[in-house]
Amino acid sequence: MTKLTTLGPTLNRLPHTLTANASQERTRSAQRYATQAWRKWYGLKRWKDMRAEVLLDALYSCQRCGRIEGDTSLLVADHIKPHRGRAALFWDRNNIQCLCKECHDTVKQREEKAEPVGVWD
């Protein structure tokens, strides 16, 4: 049987990318909140209540792939039409759908990034 102490040097050589990435993400997030005031809307009780309503109405299932997810942290209340800071679109309940995190972070983000950036009416 191998002694556990033989893992010590191996563990010390592992890269510290997780710590660096977490720090970079905190910095990036702080900059985004400072420059885009609408990002604070996601922290409001009004948004959290609407999100819970959207997830419940969808029976905790993704509107893209149909996946049913019991862990609500893996579900996203997604704006169908990107609001880009427009309050009317942000708070429009009919503009919000339930997506699993995987569909939101891949397919939906790819679609949104393909559109020109800006604010339009």
Residue 10, pLDDT > 60, answer no
Instruction: Give the DSSP per-residue string, the chain.
Output: ---GGGGHHHHHTS--HHHHHHHHHHHHHHHHHHH-GGGGGGGSHHHHHHHHHHHHHTTTB-TTT--B-S-GGGEEEEESS--TT-HHHHS-GGGEEEEEHHHIIIIIHHHHHHSPPS---
> Do you know the residue count of the chain?
121
Which of the two residues, 78 and 110, has the higher pLDDT score? 78
Residue 24 lies in a domain: no
Query: Per the structure, how many domains does the chain have?
Result: 1
Residue 61 domain-assigned (yes or no): yes
CATH of residue 108's domain is 3.40.1800
Task: Note if the pTM is more than 0.85.
Answer: no
Which residue range is the domain that position 100 belongs to?
Answer: 44-114
Residue 1 covered by a domain = no
Residue 57 falls inside a structural domain: yes
Q: How far apart are CA 64 and CA 18, in angstroms?
A: 31
69: in domain: yes
In a domain, 106, yes or no: yes
Q: Which residue has the higher pLDDT, 80 or 111?
A: 80
Residue 17 in tokens: 């990318």
Chain segment 12-52, per-residue pLDDT in tens:
565 555 556 778 888 877 777 777 888 999 999 999 999 99
Mean pLDDT score across all residues of the chain: 84
